[in-house]
Amino acid sequence: MEKISAIVTKMSTRQLVLLPLLASLIPIIALVLVSPDHYSGTEIHNILIDLIFFLWGLSGIPVIIRKETVGLVVVRGGWAVIQGIVMTIIPWTLIVVARMTNITK
């Protein structure tokens, strides 16, 4: 566990934000491969979409913890925390909304 924490502390905020975004490419590729088949609209399709949005939501957590945004303009402090919260809440809210619409079908 100490090795992992040492690696994470050495990484920049940009790298920590990109990790879940790059990890979300795996379910995106799987979604593209599964969609042309007759499986589109089934449970595996919904699980892959949920996994993609969950991983996108994880990208806001390093911004909240380090209080620093990444991008063209680097923002530090309270505004960075607000942006990190928004980066986390919006994708996770989309998961809940997608699940609620599937329940009502």
Q: Over the stretch 51-66, which tens digit does the pLDDT of each residue have?
A: 999 999 999 999 898 8
User: Between these two residues, 13 and 102, which has the higher pLDDT value?
Assistant: 13
- How many distinct structural domains can be found in the chain? 1
32-to-15, 19, 24, 45, 105 alpha-carbon distances in Å: 26, 21, 13, 10, 24
Unique residue bearing structure tokens 């939501």: 57
pLDDT of residue 82: 92
Question: What pTM value is reported for the model?
Answer: 0.78
Local structure of 81: helix, strand or coil = helix
Q: Which domain holds residue 60?
A: 2-104
pLDDT of residue 47: 84
Q: What are 21's two structure tokens?
A: 């975004």
CA–CA dist 13, 89 (Å, integer): 19
Q: Over the stretch 22-39, which tens digit does the pLDDT of each residue have?
A: 999 998 888 888 766 655
pLDDT of residue 6: 79
